[in-house]
Amino acid sequence: MNLSTPIEYVKGVGPQRGEKLQSELGVLKCEDLLNLFPFRYNDRSQFHKVNQLHPDMPNVQIIGKLRHIQEFGKPRQRRLSAKLVDETGTVELVWFKGVQWVKKGLKEGVDYVLFGKPSTFKGKINFAHPELEPLSKANAKNKPGLEPVYSTTEKLTGVGLHSKGLAKLIKTVLDSGEIKFEETMSNELMEHYKLIDKTKAYHIVHQPTDSRSLQIARYRLKFEELFFVQMQILRSKLSRQEKYKGFVFERVGENFNNFYQNHLPFELTGAQKRVMKELRRDLGKGEQMNRLLQGDVGSGKTMVALLTMLIAIDNGYQCAMIAPTEILANQHYITLQEQLEGTGINVDLLTGSIKKSDRKPIHEKLEAGETNILVGTHALLEDTVRFANLGIVVIDEQHRFGVAQRSKMWRKNTKPPHVLVMSATPIPRTLAMTLYGDLSVSVIDELPPGRKPIETIHKRDQHRLEVFGFLKREIEKGRQVYIVYPLIEESAKMDYKDLMDGYEAISRTFPPPDYRISIVHGKMKAEDKDYEMQQFVDGNTQIMVATTVIEVGVNVPNASVMVIESAERFGLSQLHQLRGRVGRGAEQSYCVLMTGNKLSAEARKRMETMVRTQDGFEVAEVDLELRGPGDIMGTQQSGVLNLQIADLAKDGKLLQVARHAAIQVLKEDPNLKLSQNSNIAKGYAKVQKERPNWGRIS
């Protein structure tokens, strides 16, 4: 047996289980099986007494005598209960499923080892569906101190491949004595980073004896995984720099200087100035700039983008600015026109709703080089849109544009234009280092002076009248208000009903003609949504009742309150994005989080985080910790995060160590040709073949 042995030939697998392992977990051979790493370990070395137990404890072990086995309940709702007694007290045990099967294996008066999670019911400690094993049998097995627990599926459990079944198969493979992993780290890296042998690490991770050696083994395998992730990113960046030469913006000229001295509406913050220096450096290198500009709502990203576009214009190039929605494109267009008034710079708008007859002059001006900045939606990507000399593309909200869409912009030139991606969704550093591959990252981490922090308040549903009273007072001051409802696809009908019920209640509390209300939801036609949005933007309505369609980009400085209904159903980054819709004017703004009384620990942490901080990066770190990277980036990107043992939410420091190691190796040996790096070259080739390319995102 070796790593390439087909899985069905492993003792205890066979064709049926082999087919299930393949379809459910993608396991084709022994190596795939060994790459199913435990997601946690049960500590079987410690034993507790009954009087030491409390409901906040994780899984525990106790030894006691089994008493009072009873079956009760209606035929279809049978339950089994029992008591386990030691010298310090008694615990209740209960089973709701597989009652007959469980009962058959239990004997009163016998000493058992119990393993399970304690909870309380009517003030007493109890265990639901605990694992029980006769003490004599447990002693004979001489169980390990740490027991691996594997993720499985319902279909695998159906053929006996629950966590213990998988553990047994893995043990069979490892105990064959024929498994040997090829080393993928150089001797220098092994020594410098104190990495143990790869085969040994696999044995320990699947069959640990103590937590210290387990930590060392996991460190070894995580380091390797993150090292090769960074290798892909860095090599992709190197090849891009060689392959894609960019335009050199040599000077800062009249347009930039005139705007900076005579039209800049406010003094740039220190963070904006720092980012401008980073961008200037990129634009003068002769390589294509590929930079992600992160910053909270209101931090001044658009101003930095405008100044960068002015540098392009000073060097004789045109600019494109792409937004994910027509409303946002319109807002960028209006803002740029206002800010550039009197400068002689031509700004045009191109969106899907512009009539064909009106597009022709826009296309002609663009091809003639008369348009300096073209703002638009994905309509800019159409083949009929031709620039005279496109120098830079600014993309707002990157995660809404696919890879193919971005690369389409490159084909509009002999050389690819510089790319500046703006994102108001703060991305934790660890995620940005992997997900955004070869984009350099700039961060605007301070807000302009004088901006008032948004006050965030958490209110329960029973305080709704109090909240409505507060909204009336704000509207009387001439302010506008958002009231947002969740919309989750699986329960779209229910959510639509919630929204309409809410709208009716709001209409009763805020009756016309004293109050004017807009409503926006996913079932509306695009033009109706845009009309309602525009009514609110223009100040013709005071209350906007909506689903999360208002999350991105709408700018209404007069809106001072954001009420988020069923806030416990939103992710943290979504809550933070919604909060950013207010606080754009000079007045004090508020975000009110409405929830029910019963909140999970995770939902409570989300509410507490929102009330405590407005720092988008702190919010993003907590979100990553709570939800994991796949959920944060959505299904579009989560396939890229195909990590098997490392965890970006927890291994941020190790990721930076692995990145540093990869940088050092590539600095000395960019093509991995040196003999001392032959192991790394083989490992890298294997990873390239089997994994998505982390670096190729545009």
What does the pLDDT look like over 348-392, one tens digit per residue? Answer: 999 888 888 899 999 999 999 999 999 998 778 777 788 999 999
Residue 688 pLDDT level (bands cut at 50, 70, 90): confident
pLDDT of residue 499: 76
Lowest mean pLDDT among 274-288, 560-574, 634-648: 634-648
CA distance 275 to 257: 17
Name which residue leads in pLDDT, 692 or 164: 164
Q: Are strands 89-95 and 79-86 parallel, antiparallel or unpaired?
A: antiparallel
**CA 131 to chain centroid:** 35
Lowest mean pLDDT among 58-67, 297-306, 631-640: 631-640
Q: What are phi and psi of 262, to 5 degrees?
A: -115, -15
**Which candidate, 244, 151, 193, places its Cα nearest to that of 645?**
151
Lowest mean pLDDT among 451-465, 513-527, 629-643, 657-671: 629-643
Percent of the chain at pLDDT > 90 equals 47
pLDDT of residue 481: 95
Largest CA distance in the chain: 94
Using a 10 angstrom Cβ sphere, with 0-12 exposed, 13-18 middle and 19 or more buried, the burial of residue 494 is exposed
Residue 549 pLDDT level (bands cut at 50, 70, 90): low
Mean pLDDT estimate for the chain: 85
Q: Is residue 517 scored above 90 in pLDDT?
A: yes
Q: Is residue 321 scored above 80 in pLDDT?
A: yes
CA distance 46 to 54: 15
Contact 535, 455 (CB under 8 A): no
**Which candidate, 326, 308, 319, places its Cα nearest to that of 346?**
319
Q: Is residue 413 scored above 70 in pLDDT?
A: no
pLDDT of residue 629: 56
**380: enclosing H helix or E strand:** none
pLDDT of residue 640: 45
CA distance 335 to 349: 12
Count Cβ atoms below 10 Å from residue 402 Cβ, excluding itself: 11
Write out the two tokens for 547: 């689903």
pLDDT of residue 81: 92
Complete DSSP assignment for 624-661: HHHH-HHHHH-HHHHTT---SS--TTT-HHHHHHHHHH
Which position has the token pair 């070869």?
A: 438
Tens of pLDDT, residues 431-476: 666 666 556 788 888 877 777 889 999 999 999 999 999 999 999 9
Write out the two tokens for 560: 């001072």
What radius of gyration, in Å, describes the C-alpha atoms of the chain?
Answer: 30
pLDDT of residue 636: 36
**279: enclosing H helix or E strand:** helix 270-283
